[in-house]
Structure 1
Amino acid sequence: MVSEFDVIARYFSRPTPQAVLGPGDDCALLAPAAGSELAISTDMLVEGSHFLPDTDPCQLGWKALAVNLSDLAAMGATPRWALLAGSFPEGRAVWLEAFATGFFACATHFGVDLVGGDTTRGPLNLCLTVIGEVAAGTALRRDRALPGDDLWVSGQPGLAALGLAHLQGTTRLSEGLARRCLAALQQPRPRVELGRELRRRGLAHAAIDVSDGLLGDLEHVLERSAVAAEVSTTQLPYLPAGADPTLARRCQLSGGDDYELVFSAPPAKRGALSALAAELDLPLWRFGRVFAAATATDATRLTVVDENGQPLAIDRTGFDHFG
Structure 2
Amino acid sequence: MASEFDLIARHFTPATLAPGAGVALGVGDDCALLAPRAGQRVAVSVDTSVAEVHFPAAAPAEAIGHRALAVSLSDLAAMGAEARWCLMALAMSDPDEAWLADFARGFHALCAATGTALVGGDVTGGELAIGVTVMGEVPPALALTRRGARVGDRIAVTGALGGGAGGLVLWQRGERDLTHPLLQRYLRPQPRLAAGQALRGLATAAIDISDGLLADLAHVLAASGVGAHLDADALPLAEGLVAALGETAARQAALSGGDDYELVVCLPAEHVSEARRRLAELELALSVIGEVREAPGIGGVEAATARGWQHFVSRGAPGAGSARGRP
1:215 is aligned to 2:214? yes
Q: Distance in 1 between matches of 2:164 and 2:232?
A: 19
1:321 is aligned to 2:321? no
Q: Does the 8 Å CA contact 2:255/2:305 hold for their aligned counterparts?
A: no
- Shift in Å, 1:91: 3.6
What's 2:261 paired with?
259
Residue 84 of structure 2, aligned match among 80, 85, 89: 80
Judged with a 3 Å threshold, the aligned counterparts in structure 2 of structure 1 residues 304 and 313 are, in CA distance, closer, same or farther, namely same
Moved more, 238-247 or 27-36: 238-247
Judged with a 3 Å threshold, the aligned counterparts in structure 2 of structure 1 residues 11 and 217 are, in CA distance, closer, same or farther, namely same
2:33 is paired with a residue whose SS is coil
What's 1:181 paired with?
182
- Shift in Å, 1:138: 1.8
Q: In the TM superposition, what are the counterparts of 1:272-291 in structure 2 within 5 Å?
A: 272-291=274-293
Q: Does the 8 Å CA contact 1:74/1:207 hold for their aligned counterparts?
A: yes
Paired AA for residue 71 in structure 1: D
Gaps of 5+ in 1: 306-311
Residue 142 of structure 1, aligned match among 143, 146, 154: 146
- Shift in Å, 1:175: 7.5
Residue 115 of structure 2, aligned match among 108, 111, 117: 111
What's 1:67 paired with?
71
Paired AA for residue 321 in structure 1: H
The one-character-per-residue Cα deviations of 1:116-159 (angstroms, maximum 9, x if unpaired) are 01111111111000000001232000011011100000111101
2:138 is paired with a residue whose SS is strand
Q: Does the 8 Å CA contact 2:237/2:254 hold for their aligned counterparts?
A: no
What's 2:322 paired with?
none
Q: Distance in 1 between matches of 2:94 and 2:191?
A: 31
1:44 is aligned to 2:40? no
Judged with a 3 Å threshold, the aligned counterparts in structure 2 of structure 1 residues 204 and 232 are, in CA distance, closer, same or farther, namely same
Over aligned residues, Cα RMSD in angstroms?
A: 1.7
What's 2:104 paired with?
100
State the percentage of identical aligned residues: 45
Paired AA for residue 2 in structure 2: V
- Shift in Å, 1:174: 12
Q: Does the 8 Å CA contact 1:82/1:131 hold for their aligned counterparts?
A: yes
2:288 is paired with a residue whose SS is strand
Q: Distance in 1 between matches of 2:121 and 2:105?
A: 17
The one-character-per-residue Cα deviations of 1:67-96 (angstroms, maximum 9, x if unpaired) are 110000000000000000111122411100
Alignment: residue pair count: 306
- Shift in Å, 1:316: 4.2
- TM-score w.r.t. the length of structure 2 is 0.90
Paired AA for residue 254 in structure 1: S
Q: Distance in 2 between matches of 1:277 and 1:133?
A: 20
- TM-score w.r.t. the length of structure 1 is 0.91
